[in-house]
């Protein structure tokens, strides 16, 4: 793939077009071992060896990040009033990255961020029924009856009942602790499912989406690239 050097670097997230142009003019970029002088030169992204400030620039068509979304961020690419999940990917601002699916502003946990539209589409497709696993603290005593209701499907005010979901009670009390696996992604689904049985979700965290499991090393707000194994099993 032939592409202009400044466009290539900007698309890979090395800076805006004008920043990258300045860096090229400042002698910070080499192509095949030779200092690049002009931003408009065309390079072959599959063959040419580019360095930026001494580091090799590698071209990957698709990038995949696992973010432990913190509460208070919105799952969007831009927002007027709140920080977005993409704002957290500080040095990796490759163009075209977007979050796969939506977590509420107050929900934490696993969020995949990628520029791979096809994989995102597959993970989100209502027909694929990809498992999503959540941990929640719930106000009210979660009971075996709730387990049975969720397994059958509950009325959350939509046209259709929810699909069978697996509810596991970790602790039942004034505040209950649960794990829930759902196979759909309706708006506020987990909160509305508990509402339908007269309870309130007071803390929600996504732990898993399909084969992708939240890395317990990641603190809220931290992210990392997916490993090759994770990408392979996802795609």
Q: What's the min distance (Å) between Cβ of 107 and ligand URA?
A: 3
Largest CA distance in the chain: 71
Decide the pairing of beta strands 200-209 and 175-182. Answer: unpaired
Distance from C-alpha of 46 to C-alpha of 57, rounded to nearest angstrom: 11
The interface region with ligand URA, picked from 49-57, 64-72, 103-111, 139-147 by CB under 6 A, is: 103-111
Nearer to ligand URA, 43 or 113 (CB): 113
Residue 75 C-beta: closest distance to ligand URA, Å: 8
- Closer to ligand URA at the Cβ: 45 or 165? 165
Which listed range, 12-20, 23-31, 64-72, 100-108, lies at the site for ligand URA (CB under 6 A)? 100-108
Minimum distance of ligand URA from residue 204's CB (angstroms): 6
Closer Cβ to ligand URA, 44 or 158, answer by number: 158
Q: Indicate if 87 belongs to the active site.
A: no
Tell me if 18 sits within 8 A of 65, measured CB to CB.
Answer: no
Which of these, 124, 117, 7, lies nearest to 62 by C-alpha position? 117
Q: Does 43 bind ligand URA (CB under 6 A)?
A: no
As beta bridge partners, residue 56 has 51
Q: Which one from 48, 79, 87, 104 is the annotated catalytic residue?
A: 104
Candidate list 189, 199, 205, 209; residue touching ligand URA; CB under 6 A? 189
Smaller CB distance to ligand URA: residue 30 or 75?
A: 75
**Which of 131, 69, 104, 109 shows the shortest CA–CA distance to 214?**
109
- Rg over CA atoms, the chain: 22
State both tokens at 234.
Answer: 């996802």
CA distances from 41 to 9, 17, 103 (A): 12, 14, 42
Which residues are at the interface with ligand URA (CB under 6 A)?
A: 103-104, 107, 188-191, 204
Residues marked as catalytic: 104
């Amino acid at each position: 793939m032939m592409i202009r050097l400044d466009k290539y670097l900007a698309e890979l997230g090395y800076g805006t077009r004008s920043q990258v142009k300045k860096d090229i003019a400042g002698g910070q970029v080499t192509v095949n071992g030779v200092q690049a002088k002009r931003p408009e030169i065309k390079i072959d992204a599959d063959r040419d060896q580019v360095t930026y400030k001494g580091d090799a620039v590698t071209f990957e068509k698709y990038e995949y990040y696992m973010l432990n979304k913190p509460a208070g961020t919105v799952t969007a690419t831009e927002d007027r009033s709140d920080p977005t999940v993409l704002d957290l990917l500080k040095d990796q601002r490759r163009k075209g990255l977007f979050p796969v699916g939506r977590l509420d502003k107050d929900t934490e946990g696993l969020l995949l961020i990628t520029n791979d539209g096809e994989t995102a589409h597959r993970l989100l497709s209502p027909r694929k029924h990809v498992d999503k696993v959540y941990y929640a603290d719930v106000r009210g005593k979660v009971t075996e009856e709730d387990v049975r209701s969720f397994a059958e499907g509950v009325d959350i005010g939509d046209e259709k009942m929810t699909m069978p979901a697996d509810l596991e009670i970790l602790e039942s009390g004034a505040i209950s602790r649960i794990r829930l696996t759902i196979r759909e992604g309706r708006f506020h689904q987990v909160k509305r499912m508990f509402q339908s049985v007269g309870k309130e979700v007071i803390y929600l965290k996504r732990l898993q989406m399909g084969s992708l499991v939240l890395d317990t090393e990641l603190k809220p707000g931290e992210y990392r690239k997916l490993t090759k194994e994770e990408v392979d099993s996802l795609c």
